[in-house]
Amino acid sequence: MQEDDDYVEILPEDLAKKRAKGPRSSVSAEAFGEFNKKENFKARVVPKSADAKQAIMDKIANSFMFSGLDEKEKQIVVDAMEEKKCFKKETVITEGDEGDCLYVVASGTLSCSKIFKGQTDPTFLKRYEAGEAFGELALLYNAPRAATICSDGESILYALDRATFNHIVKDAAIRKREKYEAFLAKVELLKTMDDYERSAISEAFQDAKYEAGDTIIKQGDEGKLMYFLVEGEAFASKVLEGASVEEEVAQYKSGDYFGELSLLHNEPRQANVKARTACCCVTMNRHSFKRMLGPLEEILKRNMDLYV
């Protein structure tokens, strides 16, 4: 299972329009242009030691941005990456600038902030940690940099150039973002999040499929994942206090979630969850849950009061 990265906020208007149309909506001319570019593409190679290569490989192994790539593609990315050392408070990306590369954090932390429409002061959005990638938006959607990113203390980054990103990473990254977009928009729990936060959540998802009657969660087990039900019906059951037989305590349909309790409280699973019909779920591991759903903790806790 992978570790994470995450975001906040609304897409800039022009960007939202591009996304609504879909990045590959015009077929022939654009596709042909893209094809020709691929033919001519010669990947950048920044010479580095075997140890340096391995260090980069280890970092990108944990980054969602590269999770759709095969080993050969990962090697190309590693070869193209260039180390960049940042000093304390250095501005790595400035909102509004043109974007020419994506960064992966090797060490240190960086702060992301943005000046919203009608405001003069920047709003802090999030902190990037080792293994996380940023600066992908400008490259994915051919837009100006949407936020400013500064190194908190000293940090080390790996920079990936636009050409290699476009040819090796871009399509898979867009596919992953768009795969769950429609589903996520209807998840009640995530209603308070904006498009940007939601699309980042989908990057942390792993698919999980079950047959009717399968046990998805077993009461008493250690909890490692949280689930969203994409398709099908499931239910939770447990032996209530003073009773001797298991009772159904919750029903789940598309858009519902379960398995959050043991991640919130670090305790064993509090109920069984079983598939009533064939089910498609997406799961999120503990680390992603904390990073991405942390801001929703209050809502999760409030919803918990509804459990018997």
Q: Taking CB under 6 A as the rule, does residue 150 contact ligand CMP?
A: no
Contact 230, 281 (CB under 8 A): yes
Give strand pairing partners of 83: 158
Binding to ligand CMP by residue 146, rule CB under 6 A?
yes
Is residue 210 at the binding interface for ligand CMP, with CB under 6 A as the rule?
A: no
Helix residue ranges per DSSP H, the chain: 13-21, 28-40, 50-61, 71-80, 137-141, 162-164, 170-179, 181-185, 195-202, 261-265, 286-293, 297-304
Nearer to ligand CMP by C-beta: 56 or 110?
110
Which lies closer to ligand CMP via its Cβ, residue 249 or residue 280?
A: 249
Among the listed residues 59, 145, 274, 291, the single contact to ligand CMP using CB under 6 A:
145
- Candidate segments 16-24, 132-140, 183-191, 206-214, binder of ligand CMP by CB under 6 A: 132-140
CB atoms < 10 A from the CB of 129, how many? Answer: 15
Stretch that binds ligand CMP, among 31-39, 72-80, 157-165, 260-268 (CB under 6 A): 260-268
- Output the CA–CA distances (angstroms, integers) from residue 286 to 95, 121, 143, 172, 220, in the order listed: 32, 34, 33, 24, 17
Instruction: Give the N- to C-terminal CA distance of the chain in Å, as an integer.
Output: 32
Nearest-approach distance from CB 72 to ligand CMP, in angstroms: 26
If DSSP codes are grouped into helix, strand and coil, which group holds residue 73?
A: helix
Distance CA 130, CA 112 (A): 14
Q: How far apart are CA 52 and CA 82, in angstroms?
A: 10
216 makes contact with ligand CMP (CB under 6 A): no
What is the nearest approach in angstroms of ligand CMP to the Cβ of residue 61?
19
Among 66, 180, 196, 210, interactor with ligand CMP by CB under 6 A = 196
Q: Report the residue closest to ligand CMP, judged by CB.
A: 9
Residue ranges binding ligand CMP (CB under 6 A): 7-9, 93, 99, 112, 114, 125-126, 134-138, 145-147, 149, 196, 217, 223, 236, 238, 249-250, 258-262, 269-271, 273, 307-308
